Each structure stands twice: as structure tokens, then as C-alpha cells.
């Protein structure tokens, strides 16, 4: 059989994620101290797990309605109103998805057709460009820079817009840089977008993890809700990555179309997870606060620790990553990270895995205990002393 004639060319041409390559090497080695994981080290709080277990004990093992249980959608609306001042109709403007990833996928697929351009600020999470291409769209990359604190500027946005622009991905708080966008900065972005037909896909999965500034959703800025899709979920805020649960909020006319994709390819999101998520939203605020306080302590610890060994970083204001500038050592991101891994058994992710603009940087996750971070910093210090 000639598989080259069988497999979809679009998929074959889709590059394997740069992070994946690095993880594959790492997993073949022993005694590696890694700071690579992009998920919380906390276990889902017990009362949330218990709600999932209780739903199983009561035999709630059916599909829910396609958009998710109404009770959960009501809680999502209450949560977004309480935390970020944006409200969505539980009946018509919310879909419960399989993680934030599905939310991003169906948002793109419901908007993008062959040749449509999607503006993607980078460095950012690895899925936006491949998902755009799979939908037939064309990714238009904006490289944000450390001098702008890795924020999207209105000037860069204006320069990237063409008549074919259909969507702007807004990935803040940002993985991998830890950048955030404040309300004032988002207002400037909104100013560029008003009176256009450009849709904003705002990936707010790290919304709870901000330090110093409260997260601002672009949907809460006047005139933006009608053109904004919020993709978010429970993975990061509630330490629920394995439950695979997220959500999409958007104007009813968009949700109606997105629901068709979700209905045909997913049916409904995991029922057990939906029951756990209701408990998370009803009684989980204190858990989130506790975890965010802990991330904040680690953030300061790793920022100062890197500074102490002569590695400068932009001080992250969101998510749980720091993106130090390693270009000063005269090695490419790949070389720096490979040598650190092979010779000093410490794993961090090369910054170019998140877009070409990440060259010269590396992503370090601080979703680890202080003890683990201390051990990793010792290894990094030994390495940079040889450079």
C-alpha cells in the first residue's frame, strides 16, 4: 500500500510540535530534573474529586446535552460575571468543551475557510498555527518582543491586518512568556478592531494566574463582546488537566455554528468532569487563591534565582512560566537546552518551540516545589558557569 497516497497531505505537512521533540529525548534519560511540565503540580482539590466520584456512584454515566449540563453553564456564567465582569447566556452563548484545546479548535473551524488569515502573536502556545492550517487558513505571525514585555502592540496588529484577516488570537496570560495584557493595553487593541469584521479568539486558560494585576478579558471592553470568543477551562485554575474540561463563550450566532462541530465530533463533554466542575465553580474560589499564592511565591523565587546566577528574564506577570533570555551565552536555544539536558541533566524547553521569535529564550515552568526548583537552579548555575 502506498501510504503517501493515503494520508492527508495537510496533516502530513503539519509539523510535529517543537516541544514534543524535546520531550521525546528527555524521556529516554534517567535522573533528569525537569522544569518542563505545562500543568499544575497540585492534585485536584478533594471536594471537587469527590463530586466527580459521587456522580459516578449515583450512576450519572449518560451523555449530557451537547452544550453541557445547563447547571454547569449557569455556573460558568456566574463565575465569569463574578471574576471578570462578563456575562453570557447559559442557554445560548456557552458550550462546555473537551478542554480549552477543543474550544480553540472549534472556534477556528467555525470561522476560518480556505485562504482566511489568522493573526497569531508569538511566542505562544503551539496549537494555533496548526489548527489554522488544518482549517485551510493562513497563519500570520506577529513576533512580540521582550522590549514590549511580549505584549501585542496596536502598531504591530495594524501592520498585520489585510483584507483577508478574519481572526486575531489573543493568547494572554501567555504561555510561554508569562506576559499579560492590562485593560488599558486591551483598549488600544480594541480601538484597532472596532468597525472591522475581525473576530478575537481570546485564550484565557491562565486567567486566574496573574500576579500584581487582575486579569482583564477583552470581552469586557465596550464594543468587544460581539466580536470576541472566549476559550477557557478548568485545567490550570483548578488543577484539573486530566479531567479534560473547558468552555467556549461567544455571541449566540457563533455558538449555534460551533455547536454543530462539537455535536458531530464530540457529542458531549465528559459527564463525570462536568459534575466535578460544578463543584469547582461553586466552592473552589479558596482553592484557586491558595494555589495562585503558591505559584506567586515560586515565581519570585525562580525569577530571583535566575537573576542570582546571571540570567536575565522579563519578570512574568501571568501563567506559571518564566522565559529567560539565554541568548547572552552565545548558544542557540536548542544548543543551550540540549547541553543543559545531556551534560547537567536539567530539562527546560527551547524558546523557539513557541515560534521563531522565541529564539534566544527558554521556557521554564515553575509548577514544581521550591525544593525541585532549587535543585534545577543549581544545575543551571553549574552549566552557565562553564560558558
Binding residues for other proteins (CB under 8 A): 19, 23, 26-27, 34, 36-39, 41, 125-126, 175, 241, 297-298, 300-301, 304-305, 370-371, 374
SS3 for 297? Answer: helix
Set of cell numbers at residue 309 = 546566577
Nearer to other proteins, 98 or 193 (CB): 98
Quote the least distance from Cβ 296 to other proteins, whole Å: 8
Map grid coordinates 455547536 to a residue: 259
- Give the DSSP letter of residue 210: B
Map grid coordinates 462536568 to a residue: 274
Quote the least distance from Cβ 273 to other proteins, whole Å: 17
The residues near 54 (Cβ < 8 Å, ≥ 6 apart) are 275
Nearer to other proteins, 175 or 217 (CB): 175
Nearer to other proteins, 246 or 251 (CB): 246
Nearer to other proteins, 90 or 358 (CB): 358
Set of cell numbers at residue 315 = 519578570
- Give the DSSP letter of residue 240: -
Of the CA atoms within 13 Å of residue 65, those in its CB half-sphere come to 13
DSSP bridge pairs for 321: 365
How would you label 74-93 residue by residue, b for 16+ Cβ within 10 Å and e otherwise? ebbbebbeebbebbbebeeb
Quote the least distance from Cβ 131 to other proteins, whole Å: 13
Quote the least distance from Cβ 317 to other proteins, whole Å: 14
In degrees, rounded to 5, the angle at the alpha carbon of residue 191 between the alpha carbons of residues 169 and 232 is: 30
Q: Are 229 and 105 in contact (CB under 8 A)?
A: no
- Give the DSSP letter of residue 164: T
Quote the least distance from Cβ 248 to other proteins, whole Å: 19
Quote the least distance from Cβ 149 to other proteins, whole Å: 20
Amino acid at each position: 500500500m502506498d501510504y503517501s497516497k493515503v494520508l492527508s497531505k495537510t496533516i502530513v505537512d503539519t509539523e510535529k510540535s517543537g516541544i514534543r521533540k524535546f520531550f521525546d529525548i528527555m524521556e529516554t534519560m534517567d535522573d533528569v530534573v525537569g522544569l518542563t511540565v505545562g500543568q499544575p503540580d497540585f492534585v485536584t482539590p478533594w471536594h471537587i474529586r469527590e463530586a466527580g466520584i459521587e456522580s459516578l456512584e449515583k450512576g450519572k454515566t449518560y451523555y449530557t446535552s451537547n452544550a453541557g449540563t445547563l447547571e454547569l453553564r449557569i455556573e460558568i456564567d456566574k463565575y465569569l460575571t463574578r471574576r471578570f465582569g462578563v456575562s453570557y447566556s447559559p442557554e445560548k452563548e456557552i458550550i462546555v468543551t473537551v478542554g480549552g484545546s477543543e474550544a480553540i479548535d472549534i472556534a477556528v473551524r467555525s470561522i476560518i475557510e480556505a485562504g482566511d488569515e489568522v493573526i497569531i502573536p508569538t511566542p505562544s502556545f503551539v496549537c494555533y498555527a496548526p489548527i489554522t492550517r488544518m482549517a485551510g487558513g493562513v497563519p500570520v505571525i506577529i513576533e512580540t518582543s521582550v522590549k514590549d514585555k511580549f505584549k501585542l502592540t496596536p502598531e504591530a496588529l495594524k501592520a498585520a491586518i489585510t483584507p483577508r484577516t478574519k481572526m486575531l488570537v489573543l493568547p494572554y496570560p501567555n504561555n510561554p512568556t508569562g506576559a499579560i495584557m492590562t485593560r488599558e493595553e486591551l483598549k488600544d487593541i480594541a480601538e484597532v478592531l472596532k468597525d472591522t469584521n475581525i473576530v478575537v479568539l481570546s485564550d484565557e486558560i491562565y486567567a486566574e494566574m496573574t500576579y500584581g494585576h487582575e486579569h482583564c478579558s477583552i470581552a469586557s471592553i465596550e464594543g468587544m463582546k460581539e466580536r470576541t470568543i472566549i476559550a477557557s477551562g478548568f485545567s490550570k485554575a483548578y488543577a484539573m488537566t486530566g479531567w479534560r474540561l473547558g468552555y467556549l463563550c461567544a455571541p449566540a450566532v457563533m455558538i449555534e455554528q460551533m455547536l454543530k462541530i462539537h455535536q458531530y465530533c464530540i457529542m458531549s463533554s465528559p459527564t463525570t468532569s462536568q459534575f466535578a466542575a460544578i463543584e469547582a465553580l461553586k466552592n473552589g474560589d479558596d482553592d484557586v487563591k491558595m494555589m495562585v499564592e503558591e505559584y506567586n511565591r515560586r515565581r519570585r523565587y525562580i525569577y530571583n534565582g535566575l537573576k542570582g546566577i546571571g540570567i536575565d528574564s522579563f519578570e512574568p506577570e501571568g501563567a506559571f512560566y518564566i522565559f529567560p533570555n539565554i541568548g547572552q551565552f552565545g548558544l542557540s536555544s536548542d544548543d543551550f537546552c540540549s547541553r543543559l539536558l545531556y551534560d547537567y541533566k536539567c530539562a527546560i524547553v527551547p524558546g523557539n518551540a513557541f515560534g521563531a521569535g522565541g529564539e534566544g529564550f527558554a521556557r521554564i515552568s515553575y509548577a514544581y516545589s521550591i525544593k525541585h526548583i532549587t535543585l534545577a537552579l543549581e544545575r543551571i548555575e553549574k552549566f552557565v558557569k562553564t560558558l
